[in-house]
Structure 1
């Protein structure tokens, strides 16, 4: 598995069973068609998506996100940088969690100063800026990667609700 594989799977979930092609995923995530294809192959092998590469195995993905992601794709808050708010600094999560310290994905177009969190892949900020739902889900994943226990519990609850109520 590679970090962008998680983003590809999350993006598929946000498409609500719409008809899509590899190029649709590639364009919306700012990665190449071949990267999407290889990502889907790895996800089939890992049991996170079906052999037809259309239906994400939500239970398996949720288990991986909650229990494995922090070990496979860990993150440590870094230097102060301007960027796009993530983790508990995302506007959606600020309704549950308050903190004096902001976390951001570094970006020249960012307006918030905070500790840098390494995105899962290079063009994640661009993809998130064009898709509010993807952005919210990726911020929840960052809570799991860098949050404290209480914050992680909130993120897990929200992820469960989102993943099981997406039709």
Structure 2
């Protein structure tokens, strides 16, 4: 096994995809649905195991640990600065899962020519993220909530974490 040289942004996406899929999955399933090579999925799972975010058998995500990482480390480890106004897929507080909770005239989007919303661009955690979320609404919601933690204000972060805990099946603490 390779040495742990720190988490990579797509490691978070892999863990969220496992939560989205549930118990029955294979590395091949993750690779195909996330558009990430099988070897990179394997390395990602190893990094997450060493970081104690997934069980040693690499089948069970430690959801409480992942929430703590998202809440306390994500914005520092994988920071994001909103960019130019572009057309794209809504994310953070602009995504449907959060839009009803916040009134804002500024939108955040993942840049995409297929998007229907204009807003400040947010770089996704990995290049094929938009392709991956088009077929998985639960993953889309979780990644939009994660972006809200990365770029949002206090109220937006708190609401995003509350909704993530609900999706994960955790009590709000």
Which interval holds the TM-score relative to the shorter structure? over 0.9
> What TM-score, normalized to structure 2?
0.93
**Alpha carbon RMSD of aligned pairs, Å?**
0.8
1:50 aligns with 2:55: yes
Which residue of 2 is the match for residue 139 of structure 1?
144
Structure 1: gaps of 5 or more residues: none
Q: Cα deviations across residues 122-149 of structure 1 (Å, max 9, x unaligned)?
A: 0000001111000000000000000001
Runs of 4+ that moved beyond 3 A:
none
Alignment of 1:17-36 (within 5 A): 17=23, 19-36=24-41
Shift of 1:16: 1.9
Alignment of 1:95-134 (within 5 A): 95-134=100-139
Number of aligned positions between the proteins: 164
1:8 aligns with 2:14: yes
Shift of 1:164: 2.2
Distance 1:91 1:57 in 2: 27
Which residue of 2 is the match for residue 83 of structure 1?
88
Secondary structure (helix, strand or coil) at the match of 1:115 reads strand
**Aligned match of 2:72 in 67, 76, 80?**
67
> What TM-score, normalized to structure 1?
0.96
Structure 2: gaps of 5 or more residues: 1-6
Secondary structure (helix, strand or coil) at the match of 2:119 reads strand
Shift of 1:161: 1.4
Secondary structure (helix, strand or coil) at the match of 2:169 reads helix
| Stretch deviating more after TM superposition (156-165 or 88-97) | 156-165
1:152 aligns with 2:157: yes
